[in-house]
């Protein structure tokens, strides 16, 4: 028998890279284990997970919403409502009963497209948000937004010469999945000097380059609000982007998982692409992704999300259905999480006051941390940080001297990875180097989340490290 080797596997797998859980995160995990030993000898006593937008991760402090967890508890074990009379608010009991009657046991496979009642709730949420109709038959519930994005990349890519326009910097799900399906990432650059704005000109330039190289562009990915940038698009730009998709026959993949994470709502509001496409009566095929992982929900581990298709033929919807049915169904507990996100308690419901208090507290914490962190980062020598109006991250640019670059290269590292490793080794703070998201040649960044409690202590450590680093290597 021949031994199984890496070379006998699908070669596309070797090209996949996913920095958010890469070298830094693996080393941070090791430090976490080492810290359990009283004689660990490390210069810090805890690891700070600033590398991933996982709001409920141990050590981060975004609590789950009580309403969501209570509905989850009663749908897991419906008998609990009678065993614990008076413990659960009336609206929770009613919601759980409604869902249980529709679903039956949550241990059974559901409809492959998602529970029809929950898809109706999603359609109603979209209609109320946008003021335009939404059809539950065009909505698919998913195991997080990732599952939907992966499905569309798989469906759209026709190797060897087709690609998808992706923003740089981008969330590495896109480059990783494109690599997996032999698709080509067609980078267009966001403009850091104007708050990481998106411009039609930069996308046109990427399209021109693709055409010269013989690559067919199939779709345009827009992440709004952005990851890692936190930028929020204005409606004029969104209209221009829709028209650009019309002009070049592109499918618009709108990743809107951070739509509820807005830190400057007086200045930056979220408008969905569904609303813009509907208002323009555009024929552009649009897929809009949403998730229970972010926002104030933060239920990453429950794996729930949805996508809505607009301007897709019945034939394609049938093909999508065929593809999702191979996976049988999205997790039913995740689907219930989606119902709670799109149908939260209303004023007058018994759960409303607590729900409002919990969501307000989370919004306020994210807003104040983002602001404090951006201001303090900007005060550091050689650091420039856009004060993100959305999402869960900051993406500061750092100036790294020729000396750092030389030492880093000699160690076989990208200079920003070298900086980030030194930060982890000295402080226990785990961030993701900008090279994992893509950046302009010769620029260096890192991404950190705004989810860590104790900002003063945390940013204080970061400042001390940065000043020492600059002293050692110069600017
Ligand atoms: C822009 C973006 N899209 C999609 C996802 C995936 O989220 P989910 O947990 O819903 O799969 C993430 C997760 O961080 C993200 O940042």
Distance in angstroms (rounded) separating the CA atoms of residues 148 and 306: 7
Distance in angstroms (rounded) separating the CA atoms of residues 299 and 69: 10
Cα(257) to ligand 1 centroid in Å equals 6
Per-residue pLDDT averaged across 453-458, rounded? 82
Distance in angstroms (rounded) separating the CA atoms of residues 321 and 264: 39
Q: Residue-wise over 419-445: b if at least 16 C-beta within 10 A, else e? A: bbbbbbebbbbbbbbbbbbbbeeeebb
Q: What is the pLDDT of residue 416?
A: 95
Distance in angstroms (rounded) separating the CA atoms of residues 37 and 291: 38
Cα(145) to ligand 1 centroid in Å equals 6
> Ligand 1 within 6 A of 257 CB?
yes
| pLDDT band, residue 450 (cuts 50/70/90) | confident
Cα(149) to ligand 1 centroid in Å equals 9
- Note the pLDDT tens digit of each residue in 361-418: 999 999 999 999 999 999 999 999 999 999 999 999 999 999 999 999 999 999 999 9
> Ligand 1 within 6 A of 144 CB?
yes
Distance in angstroms (rounded) separating the CA atoms of residues 352 and 424: 41
Q: What is the pLDDT of residue 6?
A: 86
- At residue 222, the 3 state secondary structure works out as strand
Cα(305) to ligand 1 centroid in Å equals 10
Q: What is the pLDDT of residue 19?
A: 64
Cα(299) to ligand 1 centroid in Å equals 11
Q: What is the pLDDT of residue 125?
A: 98
- Note the pLDDT tens digit of each residue in 403-417: 999 999 999 999 999
Please say if the pLDDT value at position 2 is more than 90: no
Among the listed residues 140, 82, 123, 78, the one whose alpha carbon sits nearest the alpha carbon of residue 104: 78
Please say if the pLDDT value at position 61 is more than 80: no
Distance in angstroms (rounded) separating the CA atoms of residues 167 and 226: 9
In sequence order, what E strands does 368-471 have? 383-384, 393-394, 397-398, 429-430, 432-433, 446-449
> Ligand 1 within 6 A of 183 CB?
no
The atom number, within ligand 1, closest to the CA of 146 reads 11
Q: What is the pLDDT of residue 14?
A: 80
Average pLDDT, the chain: 94
Compare 185 and 456 and report the one with higher pLDDT. Answer: 185
> Ligand 1 within 6 A of 185 CB?
no
Partners of 393 in the beta sheet? 449
Instruction: Collect all residues with Cβ–Cβ distance below 8 Å to 11 and sequence separation of at least 6.
Output: none
Q: What is the pLDDT of residue 20?
A: 63
Distance in angstroms (rounded) separating the CA atoms of residues 313 and 369: 44
User: What's the distance, Cα to Cα, between the start and end of the chain in Å?
Assistant: 57
In sequence order, what E strands does 15-73 have? 48-49
Q: Ligand 1: which of 169, 171, 299 to mutate, most ligand atoms within 8 Å of CB?
A: 171
* Cα angle, residue 124 at apex, residues 87 and 284 outer, rounded to 5°: 145
Helix pair 332-342, 90-103: axis angle to 10 deg? 140
> Ligand 1 within 6 A of 291 CB?
yes
Neighbours of 16 (CB within 10 A): 13
Q: How many helices and strands, by DSSP H and E, does the chain display? A: 17, 14
Contact indicator for 99, 76 with CB cutoff of 8 Å: no
Contact indicator for 428, 44 with CB cutoff of 8 Å: yes
The domain segmentation of the chain, as residue ranges, is 6-61+357-470, 109-342
The tokens describing 81, both together, are: 């409502």
The atom number, within ligand 1, closest to the CA of 300 reads 9
Among the listed residues 283, 329, 279, the one whose alpha carbon sits nearest the alpha carbon of residue 132: 279
> Ligand 1 within 6 A of 57 CB?
no
CATH architecture under which domain 109-342 falls: 3-Layer(aba) Sandwich (3.40)
Please say if the pLDDT value at position 73 is more than 80: yes
Q: What is the pLDDT of residue 22?
A: 79
Q: Ligand 1: which of 142, 149, 173, 341 to mutate, most ligand atoms within 8 Å of CB?
A: 173
> Ligand 1 within 6 A of 300 CB?
yes
Please say if the pLDDT value at position 18 is more than 80: no
- Give rounded-to-5 percent helix, strand, coil for the chain: 50, 15, 40
- Note the pLDDT tens digit of each residue in 81-136: 999 999 999 999 999 999 999 999 999 999 999 999 999 999 999 999 999 999 99
The CATH classification number of 6-61+357-470 equals: 3.90.1150.10
The tokens describing 238, both together, are: 């969104």
Contact indicator for 157, 221 with CB cutoff of 8 Å: no
State what percent of residues in the chain have pLDDT above 90. Answer: 86
Per-residue pLDDT averaged across 333-348, rounded? 98
- Note the pLDDT tens digit of each residue in 265-291: 999 999 999 999 999 999 999 999 999
- Note the pLDDT tens digit of each residue in 214-250: 999 999 999 999 999 999 999 999 999 999 999 999 9
Contact indicator for 337, 292 with CB cutoff of 8 Å: yes
Among the listed residues 373, 355, 343, 337, the one whose alpha carbon sits nearest the alpha carbon of residue 453: 373
Per-residue pLDDT averaged across 319-343, rounded? 96
């Amino acid at each position: 028998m021949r031994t199984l080797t890496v070379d006998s596997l699908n070669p596309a797998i070797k090209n996949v890279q996913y920095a958010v859980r890469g070298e830094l995160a693996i080393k941070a995990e090791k430090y976490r284990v080492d810290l359990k030993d009283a004689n660990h000898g490390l210069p810090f006593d805890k690891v700070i997970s600033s590398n991933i937008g996982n709001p409920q991760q141990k050590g981060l402090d975004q609590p789950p919403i009580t309403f969501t967890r209570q509905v989850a508890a009663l749908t897991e074990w419906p008998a609990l409502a009678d065993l614990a009379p008076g413990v659960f608010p009336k609206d929770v009991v009613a919601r759980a009963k409604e869902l249980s009657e529709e679903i039956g046991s949550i241990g059974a496979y559901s409809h492959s497209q998602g529970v029809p009642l929950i898809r109706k709730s999603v359609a109603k949420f979209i209609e109320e948000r946008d003021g335009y109709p939404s059809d539950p038959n065009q909505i698919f519930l998913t195991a997080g937004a990732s599952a939907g994005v992966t499905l569309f990349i798989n469906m759209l890519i026709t190797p060897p010469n087709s690609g998808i326009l992706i923003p740089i910097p981008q969330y590495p799900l896109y480059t990783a999945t494109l690599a997996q399906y032999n698709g080509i990432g067609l980078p267009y650059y966001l403009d850091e000097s104007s708050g990481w704005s998106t411009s039609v000109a930069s996308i046109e330039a990427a399209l021109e380059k693709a055409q010269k190289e013989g690559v067919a562009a199939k779709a345009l990915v827009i992440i709004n609000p952005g990851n890692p940038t936190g930028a929020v698009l204005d409606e004029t730009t969104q209209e221009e982007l829709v028209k650009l998709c019309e002009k070049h026959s592109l499918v618009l993949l709108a990743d809107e998982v951070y739509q509820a994470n807005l830190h400057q709502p007086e200045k930056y509001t979220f408008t969905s692409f569904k609303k813009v496409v509907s208002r323009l009566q555009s024929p552009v095929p649009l897929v809009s992704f949403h998730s229970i992982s972010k926002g104030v929900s933060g239920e990453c581990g429950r794996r729930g999300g949805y996508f809505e298709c607009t301007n897709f033929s019945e034939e394609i919807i049938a093909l999508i259905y065929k593809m999702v049915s191979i996976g049988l169904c999205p997790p039913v507990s995740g689907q219930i999480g989606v119902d709670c996100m799109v149908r939260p308690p209303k004023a007058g419901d018994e759960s409303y006051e607590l729900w409002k208090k919990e969501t307000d507290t989370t919004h306020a914490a994210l807003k104040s941390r983002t602001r404090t962190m951006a201001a303090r980062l900007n005060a550091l020598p050689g650091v420039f940080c856009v004060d993100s109006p959305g999402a869960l991250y900051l993406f500061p640019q750092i100036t790294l001297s020729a000396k750092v670059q030389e030492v880093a290269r000699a160690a076989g590292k990208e200079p920003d990875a070298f900086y980030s490793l030194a930060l982890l080794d000295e402080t226990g703070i785990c961030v993701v180097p900008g090279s994992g998201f893509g950046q302009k040649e010769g620029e260096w960044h890192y991404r950190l989340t705004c989810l860590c409690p104790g900002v003063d202590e945390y940013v204080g450590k970061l400042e001390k490290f940065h000043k020492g680093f600059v002293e050692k290597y110069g600017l």
